């Protein structure tokens, strides 16, 4: 997984493998932009976004692609139809036990 919190075009066409999925993920702490392998698991993406955006690691989060809730989180991105290309997703906090 390589991460790039730069403008989406700064890494376009450079070093991307055929299995790369470029994600733009809206979070409670701003937008995360990063590149993942299509075989990376959803839980890996969530962990990386939570760490990068300084979100509470103990909180529960869900990743959504439009109306689709990407679960179970142990499935790879490609199993949800996220293949080579760019996608916009949303990270939603589902509860912190507060």
pTM over 0.95: no
State residue 18's pLDDT score. 74
Cα–Cα distance for residue pair 6/66, rounded to 1 Å? 23
What is the average pLDDT value for the chain, to the nearest integer?
A: 85
Identify the structural domains of the chain with CATH numbers, from first to last.
Answer: 2-95 (3.10.20.90)
pLDDT tens digits along 64-97: 999 999 999 999 999 999 999 999 999 999 875 5
Residue 3 has pLDDT above 90, yes or no: no
Q: What are the residues whose beta carbons fall under 8 Å from the beta carbon of 37, sequence distance 6 or more?
A: 1, 17, 19, 20, 21, 77
Average pLDDT for 23-46: 97
State residue 58's pLDDT score. 85
């Amino acid at each position: 997984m390589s991460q790039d919190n730069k403008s989406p075009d700064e890494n376009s066409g450079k070093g991307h493998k055929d299995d790369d999925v470029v994600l733009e993920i809206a979070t409670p702490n701003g937008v995360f932009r990063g590149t993942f392998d299509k075989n990376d698991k959803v839980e890996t993406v969530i962990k990386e976004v939570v760490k990068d955006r300084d979100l509470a690691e103990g909180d529960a989060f869900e990743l959504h692609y439009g109306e689709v809730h990407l679960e179970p989180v142990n499935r790879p991105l490609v199993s949800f139809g996220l293949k080579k290309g760019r996608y916009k997703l949303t990270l939603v906090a589902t509860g912190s036990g507060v």
